[in-house]
Amino acid sequence: MELYQIDHFIAVSRHKHFTKAALEQRISQPALSRSIKKLEEELGVPLFIRKTKSIRLTKYGEQFLIKAKQARLALDEGVQQIRESVNPNAGEISVSFLHTLGSRLMPQLIAEFKKKYPNVAFRLYQAANEHLQHMVETGEADICLSSPPLPNEHLEWTVLDTEQLYLVLPADHPLADRKEVAIRSIAHEDFVCFKPGYGLRYVFDQMCRGLSISPKLAFEGEEVSTILGLVSAGLGVAILPKTAEHVHSPVAFCRVSDYRSERTIGLAVLKDHYLSPAARNFKEFVIEYYRRNERSDQP
């Protein structure tokens, strides 16, 4: 069964006349008749009752017409969606990104991008680092903004930035007024960190291995705001970047003196995979945004 046969059948059903349907389909009347006859043979039932001056659908034709119209409509909608998705000024971009980028950076990126491409829609996902990258692998997300950019043979990474991480202490901690603190000096204290699978947990575990320490993990969370709340309540200390959430938390941020405490933020897309024009534009926009900010930070 071919698509043109479906179109021919719908046209004849609409006009109830082979000659008129043939004119609409821009083929000869005999060719249209052969197309319908072949379709009937494939289905094994007559679709039309043919009389000298008129034709009408059989009960099988009426049943098939409903599905034929539905199929043609679905196909037309699919074609339209594809055309919109490859339009750089329209379509939808799906982005998976870190929780710590959600409060300020991602809204800013999207707002700036939509000034140039107002008709582009976004589908956004937040989760643990491993899941964010898996979404790109499976095609559920076009782009991933995550940290650290873990080695993956299926992903193509672009490093965007290196961000300072700080030791976060309760405001009334004895070391809260220090600009720098050695992690080894407080390794005996309770720590609050992210659950396994999150990027900051990966960085924290790397730091512990590098310093040969095994601090007690009092709490494991999924949100920066929760971890900040636990630290501010005096329930432990943490390793975090400075984010918008910390402004309202009674905590102190100290540089780490005995370890290079930082994280690398990267952008990932699926390697050797089609990326829509809108998604490609957003990828290039994000990369240029970070480069522009990096230059503006330089003296």
Q: What is the dihedral of CA 291, 297, 298, 299, to 10 degrees?
A: 160
Q: Is the pLDDT of residue 176 over 70?
A: yes
Lowest mean pLDDT among 41-45, 69-73, 115-119, 122-126: 69-73
Whether residue 79 contacts residue 106, with contact meaning beta carbons closer than 8 Å, is answered with no
Q: Tell me, what's the pLDDT at 296?
A: 45
Q: Is the pLDDT of residue 244 over 80?
A: no
pLDDT tens track for 268-286: 999 988 888 889 999 999 9
User: Distance (Å, rounded) from C-alpha 89 to C-alpha 245?
Assistant: 34
Q: Tell me, what's the pLDDT at 245?
A: 61
Q: What is the dihedral of CA 89, 107, 163, 247, to 10 degrees?
A: 170
Lowest mean pLDDT among 194-203, 209-218, 261-270, 286-295: 286-295
For residue 15, the tally of other CB atoms under 10 A from its CB is: 16
Sorted by sequence, the CB contacts under 8 Å of residue 264 that are 6+ apart come out as 147, 148, 149, 159, 161, 162, 163
pLDDT tens track for 93-123: 999 998 877 767 889 999 999 999 999 999 9
Instruction: Specify the residue for token string 């909608």.
Output: 77
Q: Tell me, what's the pLDDT at 85?
A: 66
Give the helix ranges, DSSP H, for 119-257: 129-137, 199-211, 224-232
Lowest mean pLDDT among 67-76, 106-115, 159-168, 190-199: 67-76
Q: Is the pLDDT of residue 2 over 50?
A: yes
Q: Is the pLDDT of residue 299 over 60?
A: no
C-alpha closest to that of 114 among 240, 257, 282, 255:
282
- Average pLDDT over all residues of the chain: 89
Q: Is the pLDDT of residue 295 over 60?
A: no
Q: Tell me, what's the pLDDT at 43?
A: 92
How much of the chain exceeds pLDDT 90, in percent? 60
- Categorize the per-residue pLDDT at 139 as very low, low, confident or very high, splitting at 50, 70 and 90: confident
